[in-house]
Structure 1
Amino acid sequence: MTSASASGADVDLVIGPLLRYVSADEATIWVETNGPCTVKVTLDDGPESSADTWSVHGHHFAIVMIEGLEGGKIYPYRVELDGTECWPVDDGFPHSVIRPPSRDDRLRVTFGSCRRTAPFDEANLKELGADALAALGERMKITDATTWPDLLLFVGDQVYADNPSAEMIDKLRQLHPEDDPIGEEVHDFEEYTWLYAESWSTPEIRWVLSTLPSCMILDDHDLRDDWNSSWDWRNEIVHEPWWRDRVLGAFGSYWIYQHLGNLSAEELAADEKYLEVIAAPDEETRNRLVDDFAWRADDDPSSSRWSYYRDFGRNRLIVIDSRCSRDLDPDRRKMVDEVEWAWLVDKATQDVDHLLVGTTLPYLLLPGIHDLEGWNEATSEGAWGKLYAKLGERLRLALDLEHWAAFRNSFDDLTGLIADRAASDSPPSSVLVLSGDIHCSYTAEATLPAVEDSVTRVHQLVMSPIRNTLQRSVQLANRFFRTRGAHAVLGFLARRSGVEDPAITWGVNQGLWFTNGLMTVEIDGRSSRVVVETACVEDGLQRLVEVGTYVLSDGSAPSEAGNDAGRTELAS
């Protein structure tokens, strides 16, 4: 990809432009530059807007807020740095555009998680497979904009701080001494910035992110594997000598590179920390402000909020932070603390046609895994005595037993919240939970026995990974946990440890899939469906191949709706 610096400009884009927030009349564009400058965005046949960069730890950023858009118009746009045009570039991709929505009743959300970064050469394509996000870009390049997603939702592990690419490892080895306890992982804010530059700078990805609005939420690998898995994990890791730099780098970079773009211009204008940082008199002050904020965000989760919501006409997307807002105290153990839960309840009780809930960790797991996590939580907290408690903690970390089922109080709370919405005077047509994390994809339909006559359809949709290795052991384990035998045995163990049956039942409708891919939720009025696509390489190009399209809700009563394929029960 060519750059402005090639034409002699003194300042250039390092990352971006990223189109982040788009509504019917406004948009935000995020950039990182290699020096201080004024960033101007000019829309063809539309408004122009500008913003000055602000710096943190030697890196320069700007968020340009654009107002006065008209719904339904397509705006090609250009980016200038100090008066020199640096975007678009001649890289074989179409002009980047902003597309404000024209209708309140239609929405297309494409989502997935777990994207490792590596070159698109033969060796890496063989090891990691095709990159579904790059494949989406290749298709968009040759298709009409009316067929594109309205929104990209990344539900965790956008970067891998603890498992970087081979190229990044080589760079880290040159900096870290051989006896460095952090090893081949990123260490601080500077090294986190390298991850984002590597992940978002290939031509395909850069163009997609410049053209499709995006939402993001962090999971453990954005920070470090197993982050906040348990009370014991946290009590041990906080004593590591590298811990403080890791926390400052992880949360400071996440706030700048991912979180700020989740917010609307109105929300940014009301965000006290953002306003304080951009108004600071110098970089030293900004460094201190961001570092202090990052440290407190980890030390006191109630001091910050990573969850957010977006409205799309009669539809609402709520994205839950299910990683950093946890309460790990064994006496209170919750996936989200009381402050975060109160916020979620408030945002989820609005009158909408469809309620989409983004959470990195699946709410409805394969039945056997759900039972295993319930048993593990109970025994880890002493249900079978001290010996099993120690064993349970080891299993929790070794097997990543940390999803909603492993926080049973929160699982029951979320089930109750969904049931309340389904039983309300104005129930949504669907509640769709969008998740990733587990390197296995499927759809699951749920039933709430207490409100069986509700028109609300409840589905768990899981898409993972966008691009990552797919170990054979993971495939075999997931197929086992779907079986009736696994559910029977592990369900028995869970009940013997005091775990009650949940107030919701579910079964896998479609899947399991163990291939890189994306899912797209398509909403039209009170109807919704999901398109499942997997990534492959054909004729040297990365492609998306449709696996199937499945009805989620059609606006009618449950007895009249459903998938043509029917409900798939547990395997034998």
Structure 2
Amino acid sequence: MTGLRLGPLLRYVDQDTATVWLETEGPCEAEVHCEGSTAGGAARTWQVAGHHYALVTVVGLEPGSETPYRVTLDGREVWPLAGSAHPPSTIRTLPPPEASPSGTEPLRIAFGSCRWAARPAGSRHDPVGPDALDALAQQALAGGPLPDVLLLLGDQVYADETSARVRAKLAERRDVEKPPWDQVADYEEYTELYYESWLDPEVRWLLSTVPSCMIFDDHDVIDDWNTSEAWQREMRATDWWRERILGGLTSYWVYQHLGNLSPAELAENPVFAAVRHAEDGTPALRAFAERADADPAAARWSYRRDFGRVRLLMVDTRAGRVLPEAERRMVDDEEMDWLHEQVLDGGPGAVDHLVLGSSLPWLLPPAVHGLETWNTALCSGARGARWLGFSEKLRQRADLEHWAAFPRSFHALTELIQRVAADQEAPASVSVLSGDVHHAYVTEPQFDDLKVSGGGRPARVTQLTCSPIHNSIPAVMRSGFRFGWSRIGRRLGQALIRHARVEELPFRWRRTGGPWFGNMLMTLTMHGRDATYVLDRASAATSAPDGTPRSGLERVFSGRLSGSEPGAGRGD
């Protein structure tokens, strides 16, 4: 009998349809049954590298409903797990399109990034503390609220920082004294990362009942992934990189990317069709990954999700980069055109709130922004050849590769946001959600010339940054980020920009919350034209009824994005 190896993960959900992802022990017919309803779905598994998967489309759901479901494989029930004390997994659909804002529930999007499933072996980091994702699950199991959507903004797995358990598995397959040492080498080893990350009982239940949207960042492949052309050339010259990047892209496609797509997009996806219809989908998937790595325009990892009148655009800031110094961009021209089309589709009046998901912050502490802008200019020869070698080494060692390090793309994104915010039918808010930097903060751009034609009110533009979910940051970096927001830090950033002979930015941004440190999740709540956010930090201070310790979430900060003026926030 075929068993359930991983999942189920509830991924895409709209008014009447959902997708459920799972991995099985062998080929079978996977079926999702909805309790008390005729809704459901079935799919035959498909195979990649000896592993078997199914992505089941569930149809016939009622708009605005919450429906418990169970999973069978070849007719045998495998979910809920036998003897599980967790509540039934449910599918909560969006309200009908015609529902008025006053007659619907708010939409709650919880987000964060950077999650170690387990502390890396030999880590010299500070104590890691409780996992915020586990704390969210524990809070929900104790009767607390669940978000409507979970956004995981990168570093869902760490291919370059493995735990003792994973390293033991790697050593069973190969000599870990040779490259890539105790980092993952290929697709098979990537599967171990996902098992470790998604088999925690509480997290597994959470992912089975809260729809999730995901995007990768560097550690999903390797630290500094696609930092620069020099970095890429160096990596491609090794004898182990090809299998690493192919394993990273193919496993991301299977475990994360497919679930981001709607059933309609899946039906039109030629790679998914080739993999599903092949006896073994590995060759087709590897060929796709080869093309995607060689030519960023060959694949689109970015995607769009509409939740009623809230539009989410998740932007790939890693795989689609253009790296030659003279052409350096975070996303290529075709991708930026796509982003414009999706943002403006239906006109700004088509949505009440626009949400842009980026694994990397658009707006950094001013000192860090100035440093990255300066470094990029020096790497392109702005101060002569004598600076080139030093600047490239600094770029790689200090991870200077956020939006600020791609000035052309930074300005293009800024201009797009300004265009939407100044439209006569502008949404109430434009939010950029990001992670990566292992702390949380809120910042707002100050566009002095932002005026709405006809005298209307511009959209409120805010960046909400939340990281990590479960990781740590050295004390020296905490001090560095605090300095980056200081008045002296801002002046230093401006001085670096002048030294690089780069035109100063036509706008500034101010910090309205943070910086905060610890394992955290932020939740953005939208209801009609109103939008608020809260930041919660994981805490180990609570206990279960039987006295065993369990993690929980404690409120750190809250704010409003639309409906009133912002209040200043203070970090801790």
Q: TM-score range by the shorter chain?
A: over 0.9
Counterparts of residues 249-288 of structure 1 (less than 5 Å): 249-280=247-278, 282-283=279-280, 286-288=281-283
Q: Is the 8 A contact 2:450 2:458 kept in 1?
A: no
Q: Is the 8 A contact 2:20 2:56 kept in 1?
A: yes
Counterparts of residues 204-215 of structure 1 (less than 5 Å): 204-215=202-213
Looking at structure 1, the residues matched to 499 and 401 of structure 2 have their Cα atoms a distance apart, in angstroms, of 20
Looking at structure 2, the residues matched to 126 and 229 of structure 1 have their Cα atoms a distance apart, in angstroms, of 26
Deviation at 1:126, TM superposition (A): 8.2
Q: Which amino acid aligns with 1:524?
A: H
Deviation at 1:502, TM superposition (A): 1.9
The equivalent residue for 1:6 is none
Q: Which amino acid aligns with 1:299?
A: A
Q: Which amino acid aligns with 1:296?
A: R
SS of the equivalent of 1:164 reads coil
Q: Which amino acid aligns with 2:95?
A: S
Q: Which amino acid aligns with 2:116?
A: R
User: How many residue pairs are counted as aligned between the two chains?
Assistant: 547
Deviation at 1:92, TM superposition (A): 2.1
Equivalent in 279, 286, 289 of residue 291 of structure 1? 286
Q: Which amino acid aligns with 1:379?
A: L
Structure 1 range deviating more: 149-158 or 83-92: 83-92
Counterparts of residues 473-512 of structure 1 (less than 5 Å): 473-512=476-515
The equivalent residue for 1:130 is 130
Q: Evaluate the alpha carbon distance shift between residue 442 and residue 473 of structure 1 in structure 2; reply closer, same or farther with a 3 A threshold.
A: same
Is 1:42 aligned to 2:36, yes or no?
Answer: no
SS of the equivalent of 2:127 reads helix
Is 1:157 aligned to 2:155, yes or no?
Answer: yes
TM-score (norm 1): 0.93
Q: Is the 8 A contact 1:74 1:100 kept in 2?
A: yes
Looking at structure 2, the residues matched to 186 and 317 of structure 1 have their Cα atoms a distance apart, in angstroms, of 32
The equivalent residue for 1:339 is 334
The equivalent residue for 1:191 is 189
SS of the equivalent of 1:405 reads helix
Equivalent in 69, 82, 88 of residue 95 of structure 1? 88
Q: Which amino acid aligns with 2:149?
A: L
Looking at structure 2, the residues matched to 126 and 503 of structure 1 have their Cα atoms a distance apart, in angstroms, of 39
Looking at structure 2, the residues matched to 275 and 208 of structure 1 have their Cα atoms a distance apart, in angstroms, of 29
Q: Is the 8 A contact 2:34 2:68 kept in 1?
A: yes
Q: Is the 8 A contact 2:524 2:532 kept in 1?
A: yes
- Per-residue CA distance 1:47-73 (angstroms, 9 max, x = gap): 121100000100000000011111222
Looking at structure 1, the residues matched to 134 and 569 of structure 2 have their Cα atoms a distance apart, in angstroms, of 33
Deviation at 1:277, TM superposition (A): 1.2
The equivalent residue for 2:315 is 320
Q: Is the 8 A contact 1:446 1:457 kept in 2?
A: no
Looking at structure 2, the residues matched to 425 and 202 of structure 1 have their Cα atoms a distance apart, in angstroms, of 48
The equivalent residue for 2:546 is none
Deviation at 1:204, TM superposition (A): 0.6
The equivalent residue for 2:393 is 394
Looking at structure 2, the residues matched to 344 and 97 of structure 1 have their Cα atoms a distance apart, in angstroms, of 32
Q: Evaluate the alpha carbon distance shift between residue 220 and residue 142 of structure 1 in structure 2; reply closer, same or farther with a 3 A threshold.
A: same
SS of the equivalent of 2:391 reads helix
- Per-residue CA distance 1:101-147 (angstroms, 9 max, x = gap): 22664311000000001289xx9998321100000001111226xx3
Deviation at 1:567, TM superposition (A): 6.9
Looking at structure 2, the residues matched to 72 and 366 of structure 1 have their Cα atoms a distance apart, in angstroms, of 41
Looking at structure 2, the residues matched to 114 and 45 of structure 1 have their Cα atoms a distance apart, in angstroms, of 38
Structure 1 range deviating more: 330-339 or 162-171: 162-171
The equivalent residue for 2:115 is 115
Counterparts of residues 296-445 of structure 1 (less than 5 Å): 296-350=291-345, 351-445=350-444
Q: Which amino acid aligns with 1:127?
A: P
Deviation at 1:450, TM superposition (A): 2.3
Deviation at 1:178, TM superposition (A): 4.7
Is 1:32 aligned to 2:23, yes or no?
Answer: yes
Equivalent in 451, 460, 466 of residue 457 of structure 1? 460
- Per-residue CA distance 1:427-459 (angstroms, 9 max, x = gap): 111110000001011111122222156421110
Is 1:545 aligned to 2:548, yes or no?
Answer: no
The equivalent residue for 1:4 is none
Equivalent in 168, 171, 176 of residue 169 of structure 2? 171
Q: Which amino acid aligns with 1:394?
A: K
Equivalent in 37, 51, 67 of residue 43 of structure 2? 51
Looking at structure 1, the residues matched to 386 and 168 of structure 2 have their Cα atoms a distance apart, in angstroms, of 42
Q: Is the 8 A contact 2:29 2:45 kept in 1?
A: yes
Q: Is the 8 A contact 1:107 1:523 kept in 2?
A: yes
Measured on the aligned residues, the alpha-carbon RMSD in Å equals: 1.9
Deviation at 1:473, TM superposition (A): 1.7
